[in-house]
Amino acid sequence: MQKLRFGPAGKPYDMKSGDYVRAIEIISEMGLDAIEYEAVRGVAIKKENAEAIREKAREKNVIVSMHAPYFLNFASPKTDTVRKSVERLIRAVDAASWMNAYVVVFHPGYYKGHSNREDALRQTINSLSEVASYIEQNSIRGVFLSPETTGKDSQVGSLEEVIAICKEVSPCKPTIDWAHLYARSEGTFITNIDEVIGVLERVEKELGREAVDPLHTHFSKIEYGRGGEREHHTLAETEYGPEWSIVCRGLKEVGVSAVIISESPILDRDAIVMKKICEENC
Ligand SMILES: [Zn+2]
């Protein structure tokens, strides 16, 4: 049976102090059942604190995911940058395994320094295979690498590239960021239900059932300019796309389970709005 889970990218918007254990209690009371742990500025958590998150998430039936540091570039022509990226992602994988985060989300890198996109993608895949080997050698189970569809045309991370990475690197499930797909296309993609269904069917057809069980996704409204992403916006800001109801209807039509992380500036508050729209109007 299809299950759609909702939650914030990080601690609740109104939470002024406290850790992720408290954050899980709060979102659970709100009726949310997913949270993305943000390690975007680096992985600093101690094992015992990560294990406390695991326990609380289990108690409250909240699914946890993790966002790895922003400072990663697996496509970099500089070997030192790639080496540091590998080390940082490995640290994120370790922390994810302690807290039972099922995916480690990351932005794969940049095309800069390559004469064509294929070379950048090839290098990304080669660099990531080191992280995949680490996972295998250390028998880490239940943590998937999760390249995200990125919002800028300068970044590796089109839908095709994310699928290509997951075909060659294992374990891997993509993170589908609907706002990024929209911004990257400068508002021409994710404009109707058929396009949402097309994305979902393509991911499942090319990567198998496991990639969408449950699918990891991000949503918010987004502002774009030439080259893509500018800024994330709230669902109430009607001048921006994409439309959440389109994405929700597409998910329901295909019937896949999904973890929907709100990247709106008001995080959990918009996760609640998304959940309501999905339950009542789609
Ligand atoms: Zn991201």
Rounded-to-integer distance, Cα 81 and Cα 71, Å = 9
Q: Which residues contact 125 (CB under 8 A, 6 or more apart)?
A: 164, 165, 168, 169
For every residue of 126-188, DSSP letters joined together read HHHHHHHHHHHHTT--S-EEEEBPPSBTTEE--HHHHHHHHHHSSSB--EEEHHHHHHHTTTS
Query: In angstroms, what is the C-alpha Rg of the chain?
Result: 18
Alpha-carbon torsion (136, 137, 139, 144), positive or negative = negative
- Cα 25 to middle of ligand 1, angstroms: 24
Coil, strand, or helix at residue 9?
strand
CA angle (134 as vertex; 128, 139 as ends), nearest 5 = 130
- Cα 60 to middle of ligand 1, angstroms: 25
- Cα 180 to middle of ligand 1, angstroms: 9
- Cα 106 to middle of ligand 1, angstroms: 6
- Cα 228 to middle of ligand 1, angstroms: 14
pLDDT tens figures, 36-50: 999 999 999 999 999
pLDDT tens figures, 130-149: 999 999 999 999 999 999 99
State the chain's mean pLDDT as an integer: 97
- Cα 44 to middle of ligand 1, angstroms: 18
Contact 112, 118 (CB under 8 A): no
Looking at 57-66, 92-101, 244-253, 273-282, which range is the least confident one? 273-282
Render the burial of 195-208: b for 16+ CB within 10 Å, e for the rest.
bbbbbbeebbeebe
- Cα 65 to middle of ligand 1, angstroms: 12
- Cα 105 to middle of ligand 1, angstroms: 7
Residue with the two structure tokens 């999905």: 278
**Is residue 282 predicted with pLDDT exceeding 90?**
no
Mean pLDDT of 117-138: 97
- Cα 2 to middle of ligand 1, angstroms: 25
- Cα 10 to middle of ligand 1, angstroms: 12
- Cα 144 to middle of ligand 1, angstroms: 15
Contact 131, 84 (CB under 8 A): no
- Cα 108 to middle of ligand 1, angstroms: 10
- Cα 107 to middle of ligand 1, angstroms: 6
Residue with the two structure tokens 């959440």: 244
- Cα 38 to middle of ligand 1, angstroms: 9
Q: How far from chain centre, in Å, is Cα 137?
A: 25
- Cα 47 to middle of ligand 1, angstroms: 23
Coil, strand, or helix at residue 97?
helix
- Cα 67 to middle of ligand 1, angstroms: 7
**Is residue 208 predicted with pLDDT exceeding 90?**
yes
- Cα 176 to middle of ligand 1, angstroms: 10
207, two tokens? 């990567």
CA nearest 156: which of 207, 188, 205, 113?
Answer: 113
- Cα 171 to middle of ligand 1, angstroms: 19
Whether the model pTM is above 0.85: yes
**CATH hierarchy code of domain 4-280:** 3.20.20.150
Contact 65, 37 (CB under 8 A): yes
**How do the domains of the chain map onto residue ranges?**
4-280
